[in-house]
Amino acid sequence: MTATMTPAETRRRLSESAAVLIDVREPDEHAAERIDGARLIPLGTIDRVPLPAAEGRAVIVHCKSGRRSQEAVSRLTARGVSAVSLEGGIEAWKAQGLPVVAPATKMPIPIMRQVQITVGVLSLAGSALAWWVSPLFIAVPAFLGAGLLFAGVTGTCGLAMLLSAMPWNAPLRAIGAGGGKACAVKV
């Protein structure tokens, strides 16, 4: 079982500079809202990036609801780093009325939802065209399926990188979203 810390205790430790807070969500989630002072290290990179110097302070990891942060604590423990998970994640933090930092402008749809929408629309269109126009259009959903397979195996999603370069995603590019992000179809 992963060690946890309540939002109230986490806030107390942060206010006393007795903790380092790591956000393991994706860059677009972090850009939409974050706990002030949290350092973004997405879960997919937690094994290979340098961690902030704790210097005797507690290392607290958070995500949206606590599931990803528990996985991050397990990975950090395997690296020899003592860490705890913020109980309930940023959702529990907000539920207790604790402050979050949010941009003044509305963020675009998260990259992964953009990928899901694009793959869905193109798959439906390709299938419909294969049914009514020419069987050769079956190549469209087949190409998309191969792209998702490639993304799952390599952890790199070309469609996410392409979408992150679109003009409506300029706020996300400022914080590095999309680079090397894996496509995922979340259910």
Do residues 88 and 38 share a domain? yes
Establish if 105 belongs to a structural domain.
no
Do residues 84 and 163 share a domain? no
Tokens 């390599």 sit at which residue?
Answer: 154
Continuous segment of H or E residues that includes residue 30: helix 27-32
Q: Answer yes or no: 157 catalytic.
A: no
The span from the CA of 33 to the CA of 28, in Å, is 9
Do residues 123 and 162 share a domain? yes
User: Which of 95, 123, 143 lies at the terminal end of a domain, its last residue?
Assistant: 95
Do residues 12 and 61 share a domain? yes
Distances (CA, A) of 64 to 26, 34, 113, 167: 10, 10, 16, 27
- Write out the residue range of the structural domain in which residue 23 sits: 4-95
Widest Cα–Cα separation across the chain: 67
Give the count of domains, the chain. Answer: 2
Active-site position among 22, 31, 63, 83:
63
The span from the CA of 160 to the CA of 122, in Å, is 15
pTM score, whole prediction? 0.66
Establish if 100 belongs to a structural domain.
no
Do residues 14 and 80 share a domain? yes
pLDDT in tens, the chain (187 residues): 779 999 999 999 999 999 999 999 988 788 888 999 999 999 988 988 888 888 889 999 999 999 999 999 999 999 889 999 999 999 999 999 999 998 766 667 888 889 999 999 999 999 999 999 999 999 999 999 999 999 888 878 889 888 888 888 776 555 544 444 444 433 3
Do residues 14 and 50 share a domain? yes
Do residues 23 and 72 share a domain? yes
182 backbone φψ class: left, alpha, beta (φ>0; ψ -120 to 50): beta
